[in-house]
Amino acid sequence: MKNIDIAKKYFDLSNKGDLNAIEGMFTDSSTYSSQNTGVFLGKNNIMSMMKPFFNSFNSLHWDVLNVEEVSDGVILFDFILHGEKTSGEKVSIQGLEYVIIFDQKIQHIEVRNK
């Protein structure tokens, strides 16, 4: 599978809320960095952050405005996250997300607010 297809699959699984499949895309050396949630090392720590994040929403959907492989294995997504928190609050967040693929797995994710 091409690197860009793996990264697109990650966004597709995120939109489906399939955290079990997402977990399988990470390794023990994967890293995740976001202005909103912090920095995490390893799939267990990444999933320990992701599960409560997903559970804090009634609905979540990432609209991808643009996606490109900016260099070998580095895929950049321009997105808008739409969601409704369990409190009923509606959110809409624009951002950029780098998904770095190595050996068919996600090596690193970096999320930046726009």
| Per-residue pLDDT reduced to its tens digit, 77-99 | 999 999 999 999 999 999 999 99
Per-residue pLDDT averaged across 4-28, rounded?
Answer: 98
pLDDT of residue 88: 97
Q: Are 60 and 81 in contact (CB under 8 A)?
A: yes
Per-residue pLDDT averaged across 65-80, rounded?
Answer: 98
Per-residue pLDDT averaged across 17-30, rounded?
Answer: 98
Write down the CATH number for the domain with range 3-113. 3.10.450.50
Express as a percent the part of the chain with pLDDT over 90.
Answer: 98
Cα Rg of the chain, angstroms: 13
pLDDT of residue 5: 98
Query: What confidence tier does 65 reach under pLDDT thresholds 50, 70, 90?
Result: very high
pLDDT of residue 108: 98
Containing 89, the helix (H) or strand (E) segment is none
